[in-house]
Amino acid sequence: MRKEVLTLALKTYNPAAKTQADAAQKKVVDYNQSNPYLEKITTAANSAANQGAFVYEQPRPTYADPYGDKLSAARDLAANFTYEQPRPTYTNRYAEKIDATLNDAVNMPAFSYDAAKDPAFQAYQKQYAREGERAVQDAIGKAAAANGGAVSTAGMTAAVQAGQNYAGQLTDKIPQLYEQAYNRYLNEYKRKVNNLGLLQGQEATEYGRSRDALGDWETDRNWEYNRRMNALGVFQDADTTAYSRHRDAVGDHESDRNWKYGLHQDEQDRRLNMVDLYRTLENDDRTRLADTADRLSAIETAQTNNALNLWAQLGYATEDVAAALGIPVGTKYTATTSSSSSSKGTGEKSVYNGLGFPTKYEDYIEKAIQSNDGSDEGKRAALLYMYNIAAADDTYDLLDNDMLNRMLGMANLTRSEFDAFVTEYEGGNTDAAKGSQDQQGNNWWSRLAAVLGMSK
């Protein structure tokens, strides 16, 4: 309906409206320069002035500031405030140890096992070698005793088997020794990790205490500064009270003077009747000319504003819009071209005002339009600016859903995109969520807010 009303208003566009408005304004200027009543008014005013000037004998009260020096001293103390206590600093005494322990743990060689180099295996090897040799000798001795001192083939075979039995037992020990070596490797790694944790814990404790010391320092500094500011406030209040009473005295003086001046004016008013008569005639003529000029100017301004609003809604300049604004037919509407293309002196903020947008949000709308360059990051930036408009409106309550949707459309955004953005943004705006995003290296919300110079 609004579009049809604006279109109908432009159908009555009169190209001569500006010429007529300018001509009417010129008549006002010409009248002011050749005022036919000026000489008569001057003569009548001089006659009234012959009554004599008003004289009031009472001196005007003067003010001697009783707190000037004290207030100045207190202001200097506050303005030149310095806190003598040095600011606590923190030195990490464990940085090198933590780095060394961390590197030791991270760069620990991968586990490998060589039985020949294992002292436990070597000990078992010697033990089983002795036991195997002993078993061979026992088997040979028993075979020789059973065969009259001679060792039979069967006896030698039995002796060899006895030695091989101990060699097999030694081989069976290798898996056990491997597991023991791996456990020693794991224990060594755990020891290094535990040492790292102890060092980090101690460093965190000392850092926390340094933060406490810094907090105490800031508390003491702020207390001293506030003490000086409170003293300044006391003197300011006293100075304000003294000055207020002085102003009361001045007011009493002026009231008495004005009352006596009124008596003087009553006499003069009688002489000014003729002046008032000429001025009334003069004002009647000037008002008539000014009313005509204002009416014609209002017609021309209304046509311009209707053209701007219709251009913004349609997105291009129709013949009526082009004729009213002095631009080519078909010119595309943007927030910047609307301010530069119009020769009527109407800037881009008036275009937004013409669309009904609150002045408080114009800069954010413009930034959202400029940010949405088609990239994902640009769209997120534009959504963040629109989010700030909605957040601010919780306080000012100037928007309705239709107006917000129109703003989103100007920034090439949809309402569904905006609602999804709000849900995701506010859902991730908790300490736990931000911490999780930081760990994943994907906290683009904080990066985007930093780029835009805004805070979440």
pTM: predicted TM-score of the whole model, two decimal places: 0.33
Rounded to whole angstroms, the Cα distance separating 358 from 398 reads 7
Q: Do 380 and 368 touch, CB atoms closer than 8 A?
A: no
Kindly tell me the burial class for residue 452, based on how many C-beta atoms sit within 10 Å of its own C-beta (0-12, 13-18, 19 or more). middle
Q: Give me the tens of pLDDT residue by residue for the chain, a chain 456 residues long.
A: 445 545 544 544 565 666 777 788 777 777 777 788 777 788 887 887 787 778 888 888 888 888 888 888 888 888 888 888 899 998 899 888 899 999 988 888 888 888 778 888 778 777 777 776 777 677 667 666 666 666 556 656 766 666 667 777 778 788 988 888 889 888 988 998 999 899 899 999 989 998 998 999 989 989 888 988 888 888 788 888 888 888 898 899 888 888 888 888 787 788 778 778 877 887 887 788 777 877 776 666 676 777 777 787 888 878 777 777 667 888 887 654 444 434 333 444 445 655 567 777 888 888 898 899 889 999 999 999 989 888 887 777 777 777 888 788 878 888 888 988 988 888 765 443 344 444 433 444 454 444 444 444
Predicted local distance difference test score (pLDDT) of residue 301: 67
- Calpha distance 329→369 (Å, rounded): 24
For 242, phi and psi rounded to 5 degrees?
-65, -45
Distance CA 4, CA 321 (A): 13
Rounded Cα–Cα distance for residues 271 and 44 (Å): 8
> Of how many residues is the chain composed?
456
User: Per the structure block, which two tokens stand in for 404?
Assistant: 């917000």
Check residue 343 and give its pLDDT.
38
Write the DSSP assignment of 28-93 as a string of letters.
HHHHHHT-TTHHHHHHHHHHHHTT------SPPP----TTHHHHHHHHHHHHT----SPPP----T
Q: How far apart are CA 339 and CA 362, in angstroms?
A: 14
Can you count the helices (H) and strands (E) in the chain?
A: 17, 0
pLDDT value at position 431? Answer: 46
Segment (H or E) for 211: helix 153-271
